[in-house]
Structure 1
Amino acid sequence: MDIHRTFGEVVFWEAGRLRHAGRIDMTRTALEGFGKGLRQTDEVVIEATGNCMAVSRVLSPFVERVVIANPLQVKAIAHAHVKTDKVDAGTLASLYAAGYLPEIWTPDADTERMRRLVARRYQVVRHRTRLKNEMHAILHAHLIPRCPHADLFNRRGRVWLMRQPLPTDEVAAIERHLRELDRLGEDLELLDREIAQGALDDPAIKRLLTITGVNLTVATGLMAAIGDIGRFDSPQKLVSYVGLNPRVRQSGLGAAHHGRISKVGRSHARAMLVEAAWAAAKAPGPLHAFFVRIRAKRGHQVAAVALARKLTVLCWHLLTKQEDYLWARPALVASKLRSMELQAGRPQQKGNRRGPAYAYNVKALRDQERLVAEQAEKSYERFVAHWRTRPPKDQVRGRLKPAETE
């Protein structure tokens, strides 16, 4: 089926031949009527579009399987000069019958819901950032100096903002942006509560929170993108899935040239991993030592991306082996978990009842955990102190002795 917003083109593949079956409307009633005419042994192939998951849910009870194809890879495999809906549907059927159809993984209902929540939160944050940038641009356009307070949009910053000499239309625009910013803040709080409630009973998210630099937003975003870790046979597969693998160009007997990261995959998960890498680079531990080592050779931007890739590999090992991070800081992890509970709407603990998260408020315990992390960082530095970069093979051949080359 080549599906669109309002209709879908249907082609049957039977005994090596294609048979055109016309169009059906993209409504639940029409799809259910179409599904009742199919056999339980039939298989339906569609491309990944905005409504493909809804089509899959409606047709799944009537057939053996609903396959969702990757449109980018389908286009790369079968590029036709004549492109119609009928040709596209026939291409999907032929590729699947030949075993060449590139499929995508279909998430379960809980993972799909988490993906929607994470995507909506991302859009709200982007909208808030755009509004803040517009207000900064208004101040810059009228030569207003920087705000002396830490945050322009807190109570003190807003009082300072409304005292600035601006034209009346600019003042009205700032007031309108501030009202929109407050409304988006309320939406963001509701989304954070829904995300936290869905993460309370998820052991995988709690396991990712043991990693330095990973907070609830990053952990839920990664698990929403990953879904079932069992579908990745190796950490390199997960690295490629989020687009942190380098591009490679090689032909014939020439040397392979490695370029920038591919950025092919889930861009939101990749952005959160880079954000977590910047946070992990500021905290003591082996991850900080790794960042410093790469930064000395390639600069801080490359080091941040390299650390994001290492975090991806680390997440794969933790989720696959079902183990917590070895150098986790217990008080910090307990504080993260307690913050997640409060964000989900759990009641606060009053009186003399003190949970494990209270240890993070004791400076002596925080310093002790920080000391252990610093010792782990020094151990990593001693471990890699004698590492040397492996030279290319052609340089190795050029340094061979004359007797070895004869």
Structure 2
Amino acid sequence: MTKHNILFIGLDTHKAFVEVAYIEDNCGAQPIHFGRISSAKIAIKKLIRKFESKYPHATLHFVYETGPCGYWIYRLITSLGHCCYVVAPSLIPKKPGERIKTDKRDALKLAKLLKSEDLTPIYVPEPEDEAIRDLSRAREVAMKDLKDAKYQLKALLLRNNINYTGTANWSFKHLRWLTEIVLPHPAQQIVLQEYLQTINERLARLKRLDNELEHHVKSWRYYPVVKAIQAMRGVRLLVAAGVIAELGDLTRFDHPRKLMSYLGLVPSEHSSGGKRNIGAITKCGNGRARRLLVEGAHSYRYQAVITTALQKRQEGLPKDIVDIAWQAQLRLCRRYQQLLHKGKHYNVAVTAIAREMIAYIWAISREVVLSPVNPKLRIARVPA
């Protein structure tokens, strides 16, 4: 049997089965369809043993697309000592004339593209990091559900021409006013009571998730980074934990421009010849992290100042990190006003501030990882 250095194996994963194809590393080799196997762990292990026995001198390289099934296949294969790559479907090259898509073709295509080095693997978080990310996302879903319940209640009142004359919605005074409302029909009164009960339940759910997130983040390995980036204006615990949970190790980017591009905060471009056309931001990468940064960027509309809450968040942090945060505030507040004076739209200015915010967050994360001054703020480097 011919000895091969590398065997490239493409996996088209689904809930119940996995389509498998492979290609050898010799010149002119064509991808071969292996077949369909179960998506159970025992079936994946059996598949690996077959390739190990058939190609005992080859290094096995697996690849599959990201999807709702998560990263357990990646972790299983790497735990067995083999290389595995996870790629985003949007980054897989596709010919414009391809009109047929099947599981078999996808597996063959993945194996072939892996051999030709035309695939860009994505960052796979550690199980602990993914758990914090799930908790952060669950908190966001709870907030969305609470807003939906409030909108439904306000719509019911609007249909019955009932308006609140106070100043602050959902304050204690407003909630007491809601309990005193009497609608003209008993059926509508039942609906009102159900809406109020739903809001109370979702408020309690949101509070529970807030408490759990604050508790678990403090024992997370990235908590030093989460605590450090809260020195910046507009970055509280929820934003800091959400951004780091979505992005993981920021120092795997050797330059902040790469991180900006990864988040889709850079302008799109379509230039040819002597013409250069700059468009809106690309919106690639992680949309949730991008949205959190844009939310935090709204705080730079006002003049630079160290508030009491911000000063409390900066207590105990090294001077280098506090200086970076103050430098960021001075620049970003000034930058926002400059963009408005140039006639830029409000949303464009806020997005530009968010793009520069992630650069300062990247700088702070590097100070935390590489700082020899405060051992409590050091974390272990994570391989890219």
Tell me if TM exceeds 0.5: yes
The separation in 1 between residues aligned to 2:234 and 2:50, in whole angstroms, is 53
Rounded Cα–Cα distance in structure 1 between residues aligned with 2:60 and 2:159: 63
Partner of 1:36: 49
Amino acid at match of 2:206: L
Residue 78 and residue 110 in structure 1: after superposition, are their counterparts in 2 closer, same or farther (change >3 A)?
farther
- The 1:310/1:165 distance shift into structure 2, 3 A limit, reads same
The aligned length equals 322
Partner in structure 2 of residue 244 of structure 1? 265
Deviation at 1:165, TM superposition (A): 4.3
Q: In 2, distance between residues paired with 1:148 and 1:317?
A: 45
Gaps of at least 5 residues in structure 2 are: 1-10, 53-57, 306-329, 371-384
**Which residue is 2:13 aligned to?**
3
Shift of 1:312: 1.2
Structure 1: gaps (5+ residues): 325-406
Which has the higher mean CA deviation after the structures are superposed, 115-124 or 178-187? Answer: 178-187
Query: Distance between the aligned counterparts of 1:76 and 1:320, measured in 2?
Result: 37
The partner residue of 1:179 within 197, 201, 213 is 197
Q: 1:21 and 2:66 equivalent? A: no
RMSD of aligned alpha carbons? 2.2
Shift of 1:49: 0.7
Q: Which residue of 1 aligns with 2:291?
A: 271
Inter-partner Cα distance in structure 2 for 1:76 and 1:18: 17
Amino acid paired to 1:246? P
- Which of 63, 68, 74 aligns to 2:86? It is 68
Using the size of structure 2 for normalisation, the TM-score is 0.78
> What CA deviation, in whole Å up to 9, does each residue of 1:34-84 have, x standing for no partner?
333343821111100111412222232234211111111115468633321
The answer on whether the counterparts of 1:2 and 1:46 sit within 8 Å (CA) in structure 2 is yes
In structure 2, relative to structure 1, the CA distance for the partners of 1:185 and 1:163 (3 Å cut) is: closer
1:127 is the counterpart of 2:145? yes
Over the matched positions of the two proteins, sequence identity in percent amounts to 27
Matched, 1:93 2:111: yes
Counterpart residue number, 1:189? 207
CA distance in 1, matches of 2:264, 2:231: 24
SS of residue matched to 1:17: coil
Shift of 1:147: 4.6
Distance 1:311 1:148 in 2: 37
> Under a length normalisation based on structure 1, what TM-score does the superposition of the two structures give?
0.74
Structure with more relative contact order (C-alpha pairs < 8 Å, separation 6 or more): 2
* 2:102 aligned with 1:84: yes
Shift of 1:32: 3.0
SS of 1:67's equivalent? strand
Structure that is richer in helix per residue: 1
CA deviation after TM superposition for structure 1 residue 322, in Å:
3.4
The answer to whether the aligner puts 1:312 opposite 2:333 as a matched pair is no
| Alpha-carbon distance, 1:279 to partner | 2.3
> 1:239–1:312: 8 Å Cα contact kept in structure 2?
yes
Q: Give 1:12's aligned residue.
A: 22
Q: Which amino acid aligns with 2:285?
A: G
**Where does residue 250 of structure 2 map in the other structure?**
229
Query: What displacement does 1:323 show?
Result: 9.2
Matched with 1:363 is: none
Show the counterpart of 1:361.
none
* Contact persistence 1:207–1:323 (CA under 8 A): no
Tell me if the contact between 1:124 and 1:188 (Cα under 8 Å) persists in the aligned partners. Answer: yes
| Contact 1:147/1:160, CA 8 A, preserved across alignment | no
Distance 1:147 1:135 in 2: 16
Matches within 5 A, 1:109-128: 109-128=127-146
